[in-house]
Structure 1
């Protein structure tokens, strides 16, 4: 994680514009899934989201355009996509509601820790590889489950692999959440003031 001194306050950078484009895709995805049920175009939006998710981080490092705004936009876009997808798929009866509730519940529990961190001078939750791995699994799972909402061999395979990614993703998501809570407890017990990263 870069030191605070290496992050700029710039807003109009290429990575930030990509993150903003991802955010604009969230309502578009929901409309495509719930309105005309244009699943093909919804999958295109999700794939574009995945590509821009990779590109904004890569370009931020490559072009030396890391920014404080970017560190907020990237995880916020990830969370909103996950929320939009689980709500959309649950309303279409593609996934059960318990799956749709498990993921936002974990985020709500973690967001409840942020005020305690800020009172001690910490900026946000610490970064951990498990959180990124969980997000990676979930962002693969939901397009496959959407593709699996049909008949035929391709749909069956998509459903099998989609649920495999989803089960691993949900497990890692909660495991990461427990680890974050433990890290928060350790940070709060340490004397002094330190800035930590943003991505859970």
Structure 2
């Protein structure tokens, strides 16, 4: 099948995004039911790295698609929410930091529904938030094994930083949605 014949959603980056979706359930299961935090950490590292990989491939292969623009941030949000909730349920993460992620996302999503003509630009704070959250998750997972006491504390501090960055990213995306001029077409929604 030639690129001209391929449906717009059938791209290599979208396959990577689909793999990210598929990694969420095993990560949660390894944390909650199988008590395998190191296995969960390995899969979570793959989940986090694949976020960069799909964006890189979309640009490198010139396979940016509207489906990818929609699915990529959904995979990020769903993965972060599920992993964070699993860590909180295990007692590894404080619930207050976990509550920040869906609360901000719901506010931004509500603003997006009111202004669907807008497309959000990815911001540096949004990218930093995702990286810090994933690093915090990994440290927390490692902290669930016999390690020095400072390891889980460092993971909780990383997650708290990610929560603060998430609030900052949410404010930035909300301002984009409220601004009088929309970002140009072809920009990915914020992640």
TM-score surpassing 0.5?
yes
Equivalent of 2:151 in 154, 158, 166: 158
Q: SS in structure 2 opposite 1:173?
A: helix
1:106, 1:174 within 8 Å by CA — same for their partners in 2?
yes
Question: Corresponding residue for 2:76?
Answer: 78
Task: Kindly state the Cα deviation for residue 160 of structure 1 after the two structures are TM-superposed.
Answer: 3.7
Question: Corresponding residue for 1:149?
Answer: 144
Runs of 4+, deviation exceeding 4 Å: 192-196
Aligned-pair Cα RMSD in Å: 2.1
Question: Corresponding residue for 2:3?
Answer: none
> Hey, what's the Cα distance between the residues in 2 that align with 1:35 and 1:132?
31
> Hey, what's the Cα distance between the residues in 2 that align with 1:137 and 1:18?
21
Deviations 1:102-138 (A, max 9, x none): 11111011111012112xx32x433322111111110
- The gaps in structure 2 that reach 5 residues or longer are 1-5
Equivalent of 1:113 in 111, 114, 117: 111
TM-score, length-scaled by structure 1: 0.84
1:9, 1:69 within 8 Å by CA — same for their partners in 2?
no
Question: Corresponding residue for 1:4?
Answer: none
Question: Corresponding residue for 1:130?
Answer: 125
The 3 A distance-change label for structure 1 pair 108 and 100 is same
> Hey, what's the Cα distance between the residues in 2 that align with 1:27 and 1:53?
17
Equivalent of 1:167 in 136, 160, 170: 160
Question: Corresponding residue for 1:184?
Answer: 177
- The gaps in structure 1 that reach 5 residues or longer are 1-7
Matched residue count? 185
Q: SS in structure 1 opposite 2:144?
A: coil
> Hey, what's the Cα distance between the residues in 2 that align with 1:168 and 1:95?
13
Question: Corresponding residue for 1:199?
Answer: 190
> Hey, what's the Cα distance between the residues in 2 that align with 1:93 and 1:157?
16
Q: How does 1:90-105 map to 2 (within 5 A)?
A: 90-105=88-103
TM-score, length-scaled by structure 2: 0.87
Equivalent of 2:25 in 11, 23, 27: 27
1:9, 1:67 within 8 Å by CA — same for their partners in 2?
no
